[in-house]
């Protein structure tokens, strides 16, 4: 891990972790080069070998002289060429330590598959599962830092909640349009000094890249979805009904609910927002009784207009969780509210800087 992004005449003792061959076609014809990963007690680094000794094999310990390093795709890489010398050292053994880069929650999913994470855990849930015929436990948490939160699973091991924790080798995956982090039993962790204010974290819309949870954006409501408004749900299965009756429960009664979608723009970009009834209750002023009144059922057009009026062109704060689907990223609202004058001025300034 002492290798810098531009160095010549490197002298290193490493274990070759992987070695692959690749053919490169150019105008001058095709040539073969090798690439792979190597490491020592301090870390792992990728290499490209324009030339490599035929003695070098995977898992070998090799002393390498006259190699050089350069940045490629923002990452440091070591290169071997005609001048590079290789000396196998079968008498030595090296225990390679995998090192991971630290990522803030906001950036999870855009780079490395294994990372270092820091945050505070809460909302522990315990689940049993069977693995190789053995009963095992899985604990899941919400991990939060100053940029957002994600779900974190820990296989077979309880983790400390409510205080700063640093986890090494966290696996990051996207599942059902959401980011999931997980650690195995061998992943290292230790407690650290960390202050994180709980609650949803502010994000500019242009900063939204990965489907994380626990964020809020402020901006103006634009492009109200034309199919927003009143929907009917089957009282039996709670599913949205497209026709007059539920396909599976034609005899069942229905209840009214709301579904709303629109875009919010903060001057740095826009993102689509979806919401059910609960998050827009206070801003739209629509009450439960109105949807439940059987003598005077709610009117589709009137409800549509009231919601549209309460959101469009208004300076809003939308809190919720991001998810990714075929249409792109959307923010599932947990709360939509009007923002105060001070925040209003801030976003107006941002938008004016962008457009005027
Ligand atoms: Zn049904």
Give pLDDT tens digits for 119-165. Answer: 999 999 999 988 788 888 999 999 999 999 999 999 989 999 999 99
264-273 confidence digits (pLDDT tens): 998 889 999 9
Buried b (16+ CB within 10 A) or exposed e, 208-228: bebbbbbbbbbbbbeebbeeb
- The yes-or-no verdict on residue 173 having pLDDT over 80 is yes
The span from the first CA to the last CA of the chain, in angstroms, equals: 47
The proportion of the chain whose per-residue pLDDT surpasses 70, expressed as a percent, equals 97
More confident residue, 294 or 232: 232
- The yes-or-no verdict on residue 354 having pLDDT over 70 is no
Ligand 1 centroid from CA 177, angstroms: 26
Query: In this structure, is residue 1 part of a structural domain?
Result: no
pLDDT at position 332 is: 96
Two structure tokens written together for 154: 């820990």
- The yes-or-no verdict on residue 344 having pLDDT over 80 is no
Residues in the chain: 356
Ligand 1 centroid from CA 333, angstroms: 25
Ligand 1 centroid from CA 255, angstroms: 11
Which letter does DSSP use for residue 147 in this model?
Answer: T
Ligand 1 centroid from CA 23, angstroms: 58
pLDDT at position 159 is: 94
Give the confidence band of 47 by pLDDT, cuts at 50, 70, 90. Answer: very high
Residue 10 near residue 76, CB atoms below 8 Å: no
Ligand 1 centroid from CA 156, angstroms: 39
Ligand 1 centroid from CA 81, angstroms: 68
Ligand 1 centroid from CA 334, angstroms: 25
Residue 128 near residue 137, CB atoms below 8 Å: yes
- Ligand 1 is an ion; its neighbours by CB within 5 Å are 234, 236-237, 246, 248-249
52 and 145 co-located in one domain? no
Query: Which of 133, 165, 198 is the last residue in one of the domains?
Result: 198
Ligand 1 centroid from CA 289, angstroms: 23
- The yes-or-no verdict on residue 215 having pLDDT over 60 is yes
Query: Which of 198, 216, 240 is the last residue in one of the domains?
Result: 198
235 and 336 co-located in one domain? yes
Across the chain, what does the average pLDDT equal? 89
211 and 327 co-located in one domain? yes
320 and 193 co-located in one domain? no
The Cα 253–Cα 245 span in angstroms is: 8
- The yes-or-no verdict on residue 353 having pLDDT over 70 is no
Query: In this structure, is residue 279 part of a structural domain?
Result: yes
Query: In this structure, is residue 121 part of a structural domain?
Result: yes
Q: Which of 93, 81, 19 is nearest to 56 (CA)?
A: 19
Query: Which of 198, 225, 254 is the last residue in one of the domains?
Result: 198
- The yes-or-no verdict on residue 340 having pLDDT over 80 is no
- The yes-or-no verdict on residue 52 having pLDDT over 80 is yes
pLDDT at position 351 is: 67
């Amino acid at each position: 891990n002492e290798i810098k992004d531009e160095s010549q005449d490197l002298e290193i003792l490493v274990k070759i972790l992987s070695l692959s061959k690749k053919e490169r076609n150019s105008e001058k014809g095709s040539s073969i080069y090798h690439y792979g990963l190597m490491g020592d007690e301090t870390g792992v680094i990728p290499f490209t070998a324009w030339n490599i000794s035929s003695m070098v094999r995977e898992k070998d310990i090799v002393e390498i002289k006259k190699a050089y390093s350069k940045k490629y795709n923002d990452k440091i890489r070591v290169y071997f060429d005609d001048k590079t010398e290789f000396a196998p050292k079968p008498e030595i053994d090296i225990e390679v330590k995998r090192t991971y880069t630290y990522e803030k929650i906001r950036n999870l999913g855009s780079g490395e598959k294994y990372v270092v994470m820091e945050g505070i855990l809460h909302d522990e849930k315990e689940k049993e599962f069977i693995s190789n015929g053995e009963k095992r436990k899985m604990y899941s948490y919400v991990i939060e830092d100053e940029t957002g939160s994600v779900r974190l699973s820990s296989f077979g091991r309880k983790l400390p909640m409510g205080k700063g924790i640093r986890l090494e080798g966290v696996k990051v995956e996207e599942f059902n349009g959401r980011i999931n982090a997980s650690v195995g039993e061998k992943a290292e962790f230790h407690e650290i000094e960390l202050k994180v204010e709980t609650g949803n974290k502010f994000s500019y819309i242009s900063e939204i890249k990965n489907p994380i949870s626990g964020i809020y954006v402020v901006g103006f409501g634009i492009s109200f979805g034309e199919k927003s408004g009143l929907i009917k749900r089957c009282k039996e299965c709670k599913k949205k009904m497209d026709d007059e009756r539920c396909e599976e429960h034609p005899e069942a009664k229905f209840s009214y609910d709301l579904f709303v979608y629109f875009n919010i723009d903060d001057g740095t970009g826009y993102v689509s927002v979806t919401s059910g009834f609960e998050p827009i209750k206070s801003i739209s002023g629509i009450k439960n009784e109105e949807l439940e009144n059987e003598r005077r059922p709610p009117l589709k057009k009137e409800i549509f207009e009231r919601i549209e009026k309460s959101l469009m062109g208004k300076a809003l704060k939308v809190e919720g969780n991001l998810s990714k689907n075929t249409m792109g990223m959307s923010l599932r609202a947990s709360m939509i509210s009007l923002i105060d004058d001070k925040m209003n001025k801030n976003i107006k300034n941002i938008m004016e800087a962008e457009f005027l």
